[in-house]
Every structure is written in C-alpha cells, then in structure tokens.
A and B are shown apart, each in its own frame.
Chain A
C-alpha cells in the first residue's frame, strides 16, 4: 500500500485571520490525522487552545473540516463538520453537513479551513487551490441565503449565513448553497460575529487511493448492505420518501412530540407524512455530492422539501397540520438562516407559555422577526431555554443543555432519553442515534421501554458515531453498512490500518475530549438531565401502547452506570485534570 500525501488526507490546513486580513496554508501533522481522522475529531482537537473562549471572542475558531474519505467514491462521504463553541449551548459544538461544499473544499487542496478573528466590515472568503482571498461583502449583508448564493454562484460552492447569523440569533445556521444546513447550535451566529457572510470554495484536485482494488471491494460491500436495508433502499425507505418516511412510524409508535411534548400523538400527522409530501409535491430525489441514497427531496420548482424533524416540529409540536404552511416555514428558515428544530421548538415553548400555539398565519412573520430580532423575535431569538426563563417558567423549554429536543419523544425510547443527556452538544438525536435499534431494528432491535444495557449501548454508539462524524460519513449509511466496511474504505484510502475497534477507540478519544472541554467550562451531572415534564407527565397512551413518565430514579441509575463505563466521577467529570495531555 502506498502512503502518499494525497491518499485520503491532503495534510493541509488553510488558516484565515479576519482581523489581520491574512491567510496562510499550514501542514497538519500526520499523527493528528491518523488519531483524529478529520471532520468532527480533527476539528475538536484543533480547538484545544480555544475551548474556554466565549463563542463570540474573535480568537474562537470556526473550523470547516472534511474527512479522509471526502473526494473518494466512498458512499455518503462528501460531508464536513463545522466545529466551534455554541452560543446557544455553551458546549463545544460540531455540525455535520452534506451538499457539495465539502467536496469542493477537499478538491481545493485542504482538509481544514480554520477562520479566526473579526473583520471590521462584512466579508466573504473565496478558497481555491491557490489559497484564500478575503472579499468585501457589504453588498451581501442583510441578504437572504438564496440571494447570497446567487450572487456568489460563479465562484464555486457556497456556505452562507442569512440575516439570523448576522443578527446573532442563538440558533442561526450556516446554509450550504445546495440547501443542506450546518443546522444546529448557532454556528451561523459565530460566523456572523466574525462579520463573515459567506465562504465560497472551488477546486478540482483529485484525491488518491492507496489501494484501489481493496477500496472497490469495500465499496461494493457497502452498496450491497444499502440495498439490503429497508430503511435506506426499501420501497418505504428514505431514498424514496426522504426522512419524512418516519412520520407514520413515529405516529404508530406513539412518540411524535406534540404541542410542546404535552402529547405524543398528533392526529393530523398524516397530512405531512412521506406519502403525503410525495403526493403533493412529487418529491424529486436530490442529495449530497455522489451520494447513492439521495434522501433529500425537492419540489418541481426546486423548493427544498423539509426533513422529518422539521415537518414534525413545525407540524405536531405546534399543532399545525397544514403541509403548505410547514413547507413555507422550512423555506423561510433556510432563507433566513435559522435552525428549523430550535426555531419550531422555541415557538412551541413560547406558545405553551402564552396559552396558544402560533397558527399558520403567524409563523412566517415570527420567523422573520426572529431573524431580524425585532418585536417578539428579540426574545425568541434566544432559544427556548432563555425564553422559558424570561417567561418565569423554565419547565417550558424542552431542551437538554439548552439544545431543543428533536422529534423523538424520550418517553417512547429510553436509550434516546439517555442519549439526549449524555450528548456533548446537548439534546441531539444523532450522537448515539438509538432510534436505529429502538425503533428501526438496526442492527438488531432493543426494547425501547427498557433501560437494560442502554448505558453501555449508548457509550459504544457515541464512540462509533464520533468516528463516523470524523470520516465524515452520513449516519444514514449505518442503517445498512457498519464500521467494518467503512474501516476497509478508510484503510484502502489512506494506506493506514484501521478496524472497527480502532475506529471506536478514536471515537472514544473524540468524545472524551469534547466532554473534557465541557467540564472545564462548568458542565457536569446537573446538565445531563431531561426536562422535568418527562419524569412527571405521561405521553399519549393508546392502541395497546402504554407511554408512562420516565422513572426518574431508574434514569439516574443509568446515568450513574454511564459515568462508570466512561471512567468519569459520579458528577460526570474527570478525575485527572491533565487528561488532555495524555492524548495525541
């Protein structure tokens, strides 16, 4: 096998200082690449000197990091992670996103784009194999994402913020030009604080493979597993219907968050199910660069159709069953640069607090107000935790570590309940993704109403997914494939020897690094808790399914187990203050 600087990794980081107005390429030590892979892992490692800074501090890096498989024909690997510290949660934060931007960044010759500083005036960064140019963007400031993308489209693939990012909305996202979002955690606000409106990347440098034959065999193995997966390529799966394929299933399992999680069944959910969206809009297949699954769907006019979380939260969570309204909300968030999950969940918490959920006529104006930070939007722009506290009722916020929960009610899946709390970035479903086994039966089914074994399962899955986020591959791949096949792809690409076990050990290193950063910033067991509602109120039982409140004592026992498995103290913290110094 060949070891070449172009096999998988470029070994190159592009550092841009917006305060100084300079850019330079740096070599990334191969040791770091081998031990942290790329994407989330490498980005988190590169935060080691900055994790204690305020998210808006000029020296806080905003890191775009691709992985070693990006630029190869590895399925679903044209992705990147954006890493920084979240202004919404205060945690270290990474977001995985697809589209074409990651592929272009790799093709420009870089594994990482690291942005620090604050420009005195609005700028955009243009990246090519020659390096980076900082371009004035005064004329783009205030523009929507779509307008910005159109203005820059001739220069390559675009990642841009909308008005929400410019105005410091705590859940502002970064939108890729193809409609993919660096959605959660407010990294768009970090970008806005740097006066950075957009990054545009272009390049055509190829990525080498150390062993083409081995790579092709592994790729065939992955594709065979995709075809064998009912969730991926099944006729009711996400390739056909996108993630809204889950709407009917969550309704059937009685775990669709409804009216700010007061209920778990919404009678109108059939109006925005996968088949309903297809019937109304056709659902043309769309997706990330080179992805065989093509789970994104678009309307004939090119409108991006919403994901499961978005339809459910702009639907059931706010008591809305009008599909057109939901799609309008999704489009508004995309154009304004708002995370759809937090936007919808914040409106829902606020709605419960004022005694009435927003109706279809109110939502568009409220979203606009949030992005512009005017009227009610000034408060709503802070996310549900701060809204609920301001309203004098903190229990209204259905969040963990200030990150609003997505559309899987934790009373219907106890591994999910645990994973919301152990996630280093707050209430996220994707860190351990127990929905895979608790609901979708992959790789095998587990009892969703039991905590038995879940602490260990969640720990293993968090480690595995930290590696996946560092390859960077799409989580959906793992409804079919496993780390066995992706370790083969990685070994064949880089010439290094990886196994599923070694990838999980890398994932563990990444997870613990993040947790150490968070603990150093004051997080501990008090933050690893669900909102009180889930311990006190039942979900919507019926049809032979009982949805009781979560047994708080049993939950806390399982958190304790989880800490022991992780080697943490009973407070969820580290015994060794020098922990990081022992890591590569």
Chain B
C-alpha cells in the first residue's frame, strides 16, 4: 500500500494537479496508515475510519480554482455543479465546506460529505477524495474533481469575469506560469500503416503515454485504438492511458468473441468511425480548454435544455465539429462518426475530443494538439473581448 501511495503522490506531481509538499494519502486494511504532508495526513487518518473506503487522498490543488468557486458560490450553497460529462456522469456534484465550517469537527463534516460523494472541497485545505476499492481510485476521484473544477472555473470566469480580490492576478499567473505551450514536439511516432500486432500494441502504449504527459487527458479517462484488418486493438475500460501494456483488447470486427467486454466504453464509437473508412488510428482525450469551449453555445431561445444529450446541431470550433452525445451507448457513437471524416476531429459536448489518423497516430495526435491550442487561444480571445483590461 505504501508503494501505491508513493506512486499516486508522484502522479499528482507529474500531472501538476497538486502542490509539492501538500499531498497526503491514507489507506486502511486491517491497520490504518497515512503518508505525506503531516497536516493533510492527519486529516486523512481522522476521516478514513468513518468511511467504508480503502483509500483517501487529500491535496492542495496547484491552482486556486476550487477555492475561488467556493467563494464565488452564493451564501447558503453547499456544492458546486459543474456540467461537464465527468461530473454529470460520475460525480454528480461536488460538495464543499467553507473555511469557517472547518473549525471544530472538521473531520466529522468532511467524513459526512464523503459518505455521500466521491470527492469534496475543503476551502483553504484542498480537495479530499475517497477510493472505495483502491488507493488508485482515490487518486482518480481527486483527479476528476480537479478536472471538473478547472473546466467550470474557466466557464464561470468567461461568463461573469473576476469577482474576488486577487482572482484576476491568480488567473494571469495561471496563464503565464501554469499553462505550458502545448505541442507534439519531441515525440516520436511510428510511421504507418503498422501491420505487426506487437508493434501496434507498443505504439498504442507509447501514444497513450504521450497523451497523458502532454496533459490531453486526466486520470483513467480517454481511450485509443488502431485497426488492423478485421481486428480493433483498443484500450481497456478504466485503464490509464500511460499504463496500457497488458491493457489493450483485440476485438474482432465481427464480434465472434466477447473477450473484449473489458474494452473501452467507447468501443462502439471507434468501430463506427473505422467502418466509415479511411482511418486506422483513433485517439480520444479530454483536453480541458476543448471541453470548456465545447460547452459554449450562442444559440438564442433554444428549446433544448439538456444540450449535452439532446442537441442535434453541429457547431464548429476552429474547424472542429462539436456534437452532443452521452458516453458509451448514449448517443456519442451515433453522432461522432458522421462528422469526423472531414477534419479528422470531433468534439463531444462537455466531454472530450476524438481525432483520427489515416495511417498512424502522428496525425491523430497533432490534430488533438491543434484543436486544443485553437480552443485555448479562442478562450483567451473571448475573455479579453468580453472583459478588456
């Protein structure tokens, strides 16, 4: 378990979602152990015994967005409700405790919130997340909260501007210091077509790692596939894209075997894209600016309320089509394939982006980088236009 704690502490640093020295985990088997920042470790150690959970993560996010969202929330609110797919599907909402609520029985209050949700925000302390089954799951839930908070804060700022003292300065620091130029520079891709199954598995694993390392996907979301003849090689469900060796399912196109039941929930979307013809590689990530921008719609007086599910329009973001559709069997597999062929890119409302390569992953990866860079640029352009100075 200590190895797991070390591993996921390192991941929180590698993905830059938590501040160095402000990370702690606790885990319980027949004994309870904790590790990391002493204050947060004590918090974890206090909270975990009240929960039917194996692991708990607590960390100070590397960005102040969670605290800002708490402080921007109207008095009386006790949760934030991001509308991106990860939140809507898995988290539902994110409860929080304000700074003043953390005096007294903070451990009891945090435990109560975590008894009902996968993660929560404690203002001034950080994000606390549980993992029922593993320490990894606590990391995943932390990462999901971080992602949802990030996307919601981008959207809220664009909608309402800066409302709090120090907020604008922190945001500028985020833009100038935290954000890094995004590119595929320095990455090597195998030239396609790739015809050896062993090479395909190796390339999928390598590209999955690139996708995580360049910040195009968080935790264990995203998926990746390559088609060779009648077989689709696709990452497994709940597999981190940077840990894919041994976690790639070969799925026969004719469904003559169901061993691929563990394949990604987006298998159907991948299959339909392949069936449309012309591509061998598919990459799906959740780059944050793309996710945020996909949720901006300027349609007036639209009768559709559940845009993420029911909108049948195709919008364009810098040449990338945006469509609605839920995960898995929920519509995404129907709406993405018809629109992805023209540009090799398709954004799904509040969810993420699919990109394709005609022979290899280089094209798909570059397409995802380009789309995210466009969305990032467009976000800041719109923000400057709406709130000049």
For A508, the chain B residues whose CB sits under 8 A away are: 52
For A443, the chain B residues whose CB sits under 8 A away are: 132-133, 137, 238
Partner of B89, one of A228, A487, A505: A228
Task: Report if A231-B258 is in contact (Cβ < 8 Å); known contacts: A444-B136, A453-B29.
Answer: no
Docked complex: B107-141 residues within 8 A CB-CB of A? 114-118, 131-134, 136-137, 140
Partner of A456, one of B28, B140, B237, B260: B28
For A249, the chain B residues whose CB sits under 8 A away are: 258-259, 261-262
Whole-angstrom distance between the alpha carbons of A305 and B329 in the complex? 25
Q: Does A501 contact B (CB under 8 A)?
A: yes
Q: Does A221 contact B (CB under 8 A)?
A: yes
For B89, the chain A residues whose CB sits under 8 A away are: 224-225, 228
Chain B min CB distance to A505 (Å): 8
Q: How many residues of B contact A (CB 8 A)?
A: 52
Q: Are B261 and A501 in contact (CB under 8 A)?
A: no
Q: Are B133 and A437 in contact (CB under 8 A)?
A: yes
Q: Are A499 and B115 in contact (CB under 8 A)?
A: yes
Q: Does A161 contact B (CB under 8 A)?
A: no
Q: Does A535 contact B (CB under 8 A)?
A: no
Whole-angstrom distance between the alpha carbons of A504 and B88 in the complex? 24
For A248, the chain B residues whose CB sits under 8 A away are: 257-259, 261
Docked complex: B134-160 residues within 8 A CB-CB of A? 134, 136-137, 140
Q: Are B258 and A455 in contact (CB under 8 A)?
A: no
- In order of increasing CB-CB distance, the 7 nearest A-B pairs are A501-B115, A227-B330, A228-B327, A233-B329, A504-B52, A561-B30, A499-B116
Q: Are A444 and B220 in contact (CB under 8 A)?
A: yes
Q: Does A565 contact B (CB under 8 A)?
A: yes
Q: For the complex, would chain B's binding face be called helix, strand, loop or mixed by DSSP majority?
A: loop
Q: Does A8 contact B (CB under 8 A)?
A: no
Chain B min CB distance to A115 (Å): 34
Q: Are A251 and B258 in contact (CB under 8 A)?
A: no
Q: Produce 1/0 per residue, A292-332, CB < 8 A to B.
A: 00000000000000000000000000000000000000000
Q: Produce 1/0 per residue, A239-273, CB < 8 A to B.
A: 00100011111011000000000000000001001
Q: Produce 1/0 per residue, A498-528, CB < 8 A to B.
A: 0111101100100000000000000000000
Q: Are B239 and A445 in contact (CB under 8 A)?
A: yes
Q: Does B368 contact A (CB under 8 A)?
A: no
Q: Are A464 and B52 in contact (CB under 8 A)?
A: yes
Q: How many A-B residue pairs lie within 8 Å, measured between CB atoms? A: 156
* Contact stretch, chosen from B16-24, B169-177, B265-273: B265-273
Taking Cβ atoms with an 8 Å cutoff, the residues of B that contact A are: 1, 27-30, 50-54, 88-90, 92, 114-118, 131-134, 136-137, 140, 220, 236-239, 247, 251, 255-265, 267-268, 271, 326-330
Q: Does A362 contact B (CB under 8 A)?
A: no
Q: Are A275 and B256 in contact (CB under 8 A)?
A: yes
Q: Are A453 and B255 in contact (CB under 8 A)?
A: no
Q: Are B238 and A444 in contact (CB under 8 A)?
A: yes
Please tell me the size bucket of the interface on A.
35 or more
For B1, the chain A residues whose CB sits under 8 A away are: 452-453
Whole-angstrom distance between the alpha carbons of A245 and B263 in the complex? 13
Docked complex: A471-497 residues within 8 A CB-CB of B? 484-485, 487
Q: Does A440 contact B (CB under 8 A)?
A: yes
For A230, the chain B residues whose CB sits under 8 A away are: 237, 261-265, 267, 328
Q: Are A441 and B52 in contact (CB under 8 A)?
A: no
Q: Are B259 and A445 in contact (CB under 8 A)?
A: no
For A560, the chain B residues whose CB sits under 8 A away are: 30
Q: Are B29 and A227 in contact (CB under 8 A)?
A: no
For B29, the chain A residues whose CB sits under 8 A away are: 453, 455-456, 561, 565
Q: Are B238 and A234 in contact (CB under 8 A)?
A: no
For B51, the chain A residues whose CB sits under 8 A away are: 501
Q: Are A228 and B265 in contact (CB under 8 A)?
A: yes
Docked complex: A428-465 residues within 8 A CB-CB of B? 437, 439-446, 452-453, 455-457, 460, 463-464
Chain A min CB distance to B223 (Å): 11
Task: Report if A441-B237 is in contact (Cβ < 8 Å); known contacts: A230-B267, A230-B328, A234-B268.
Answer: yes
For B251, the chain A residues whose CB sits under 8 A away are: 236
Q: Are B115 and A500 in contact (CB under 8 A)?
A: yes
Q: Produce 1/0 per residue, A354-389, CB < 8 A to B.
A: 000000000000000000000000000000000000
Q: Does A229 contact B (CB under 8 A)?
A: yes
